[in-house]
């Protein structure tokens, strides 16, 4: 196979929220037939492919496909910029009283945190990200894509180590503290403490055992869980605890109206 088969690698970027009963009704109303499993999606799409194609290939570029030497930098951009900001919103948003991505990005504080996160994550990317970030704002603002933050919040124990922690580690290696990334970690800590969206995680009930004491102790355990190499980083622990306090204060303000 190594001698006779060429392998292509691809990445697709398109937001597809979970199908709802309302989607079934809308498809039947507008299309005139019943579809038991329609897939709601957004106008935006990105398809990136790398490969040698020794036998030739179709003109995929004419359909908007990007043919590149390496897919990994584009995967990383999506993982950090889109998925990372989704995680930040998924944990912080419900604490501040919003339910969907479009509602969250309309919240001035959450929007500022997301834009700060993009700047932090962009430092470590190998491909341009500014235009991609501007496109993400348009995508997030789309009210027709009802992307529930509670859906995105699932399995944070698997998502944060690859979406958020690489940026945290890179900044800490330079002696810096990435404020927006720290907020994402702090928001997940509060999520485990029962704030915001319900905890649904492959890590099971043991995750909730990471928290429950004072914020300093909780921050230390959460950081150690997400990246054991940072377990002894007192400055990072203190920053996470302080960010959690900040979010709790904003939660109180939101409840008081």
pLDDT at 6: 86
User: What number is the average pLDDT over the span 68-75?
Assistant: 97
Q: pTM of this prediction?
A: 0.93
- pLDDT of 234 higher than 90: yes
Least confident segment among 83-92, 221-230, 245-254: 245-254
Q: Pairing state of beta strands 46-50 and 9-13?
A: antiparallel
- Residue burial 176-214, b: 16+ Cβ < 10 Å; e: rest: ebbbbbbbbbbbbbbbbbebbbebebeeeeebeebbeee
CA atoms of 139 and 15, how far apart (whole Å): 9
Q: Supply φ then ψ for residue 57, to 5 degrees.
A: -160, 165
- pLDDT of 88 higher than 80: yes
Instruction: Provide the Cα torsion 21, 39, 115, 124; round to 10°.
Output: 140
pLDDT at 8: 93
pLDDT at 124: 97
pLDDT at 1: 82
Q: How far is CA 89 from CA 24, 85, 121, 204, 214, in A?
A: 27, 6, 15, 22, 24
- pLDDT of 168 higher than 90: yes
What is the tens place of the pLDDT at every residue in 77-86?
999 999 999 9
Q: What structural domains and CATH numbers belong to the chain? A: 9-67 (no CATH), 71-255 (1.10.1040.10)
205 — pLDDT class (breaks 50, 70, 90): confident
What is the tens place of the pLDDT at every residue in 191-200?
999 999 999 9
Q: How far is CA 160 from the centre of its chain?
A: 8
% of residues, the chain, pLDDT over 90:
89
What is the tens place of the pLDDT at every residue in 149-159?
999 999 999 99
pLDDT at 203: 87
What is the tens place of the pLDDT at every residue in 106-131?
999 999 999 999 999 999 999 999 99
User: What number is the average pLDDT over the span 169-181?
Assistant: 99
Q: How far is CA 235 from CA 34, 112, 231, 249, in A?
A: 56, 23, 11, 21
Q: How far is CA 56 from the centre of its chain?
A: 36
């Amino acid at each position: 196979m190594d001698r006779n088969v060429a392998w292509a690698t691809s990445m697709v970027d398109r937001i597809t929220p979970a199908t709802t009963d309302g989607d079934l009704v809308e498809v039947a109303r507008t299309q005139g037939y019943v579809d038991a499993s329609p897939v709601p999606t957004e106008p935006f799409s990105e398809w990136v492919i790398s490969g040698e194609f020794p036998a030739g290939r179709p003109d995929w570029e004419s359909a908007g496909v990007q043919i590149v030497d390496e897919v990994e930098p584009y995967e990383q951009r999506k993982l950090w910029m889109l998925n990372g900001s989704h995680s930040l919103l998924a944990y912080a948003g419900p604490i501040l009283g919003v339910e969907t991505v479009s509602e969250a990005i309309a919240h001035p504080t959450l929007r500022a945190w997301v834009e700060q996160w993009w700047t932090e994550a962009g430092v470590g990317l190998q491909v341009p990200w500014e235009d991609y970030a501007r496109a993400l704002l348009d995508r997030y603002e789309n009210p027709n894509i009802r992307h529930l933050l509670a859906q995105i919040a699932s399995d944070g124990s698997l998502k944060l180590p690859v979406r958020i922690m690489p940026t945290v580690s890179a900044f800490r290696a330079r002696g810096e503290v990435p404020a927006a990334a720290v907020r994402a970690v702090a928001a997940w800590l509060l999520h485990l403490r029962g704030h915001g969206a319900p905890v649904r995680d492959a890590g099971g009930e043991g995750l909730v055992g990471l928290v429950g004491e004072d914020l300093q102790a909780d921050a230390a355990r959460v950081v150690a869980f997400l990246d054991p190499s940072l377990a002894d980083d007192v400055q990072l622990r203190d920053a996470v605890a302080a960010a959690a306090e900040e979010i709790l204060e904003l939660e109180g303000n939101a409840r008081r109206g």
